[in-house]
Chains A and B, each alone.
Chain A
Amino acid sequence: NAGVMQNPRHLVRRRGQEARLRCSPMKGHSHVYWYRQLPEEGLKFMVYLQKENIIDESGMPKERFSAEFPKEGPSILRIQQVVRGDSAAYFCASSPTGTTVMSEYFGPGTRLTVT
């Protein structure tokens, strides 16, 4: 049973480009959570999605960031017109339901570097 998968593991973008980060939840999991880890900091919640629905996006920056979790395929975190401050590690986690014991299922992360 494969765990949570994220790709790419490393992504380099120039300022102004778009970044697309993908998260494939564990099999049977329909809830996805995205977190961001800035250098030298802990993880910060960004958004919680169920299939085709955004449940809570209170941690998402108001501009340039969007997330989706379509009926088919992985969840996508999209960052438009990236800036240097977007350089961070982005982690996703999944759970079978919206239970609070989901925290053991984190993906390996995507490390975004904006040059």
Chain B
Amino acid sequence: AQSVTQLDSQVPVFEEAPVELRCNYSSSVSVYLFWYVQYPNQGLQLLLKYLSGSTLVKGINGFEAEFNKSQTSFHLRKPSVHISDTAEYFCAVIGTGGFKTIFGAGTRLFVKA
């Protein structure tokens, strides 16, 4: 079984500042890792995913994440945020060979002018 912990429920940040949203997971098997963004009253949009290979993954909207197996982490970063990045961000995992996506509770990113 897998679990996901998003360490911050809310992250306020000023526009153009860098941001890191933290995600830790636990699993007894290898996993695939994902970050999603959800704008108010909308569905999920995939930002990026790690399946294998390079541990630094680049996604859409200037986001990137680094898979750290020893730390069991998959933190999401952006060097300079915009007001439009204000949204809820979910980290998720699937065990290889499984089909259930396990989601974290979400981190609300609030970008201030």
Which residues of chain A have a CB within 8 Å of any CB of chain B?
Answer: 31, 33, 35, 41-45, 48, 55-56, 59, 91, 93, 98, 100-104, 106-109, 111
Task: Select from chain A the residue with minimum beta-carbon distance to B34.
Answer: A103
CB < 8 Å neighbour of B102 from A31, A45, A93, A108: A45
* B53 close to chain A: CB less than 8 A: no
CB–CB A48/B101 < 8 A: no
In chain B between 82 and 113, which residues have their CB closer than 8 angstroms to a CB of chain A? 90, 92, 94-106
Which residues of chain B have a CB within 8 Å of any CB of chain A?
Answer: 4, 32, 34, 36, 41-44, 46, 49, 51, 90, 92, 94-106
CB–CB A109/B90 < 8 A: no
CB–CB A103/B100 < 8 A: no
Set of chain A residues within 8 Å of B97, measured between Cβ atoms: 100
Known: A41-B106, A42-B106, A44-B103. 8 other contacts (CB 8 A): A33-B101, A43-B90, A56-B100, A100-B98, A101-B49, A103-B32, A106-B44, A109-B43
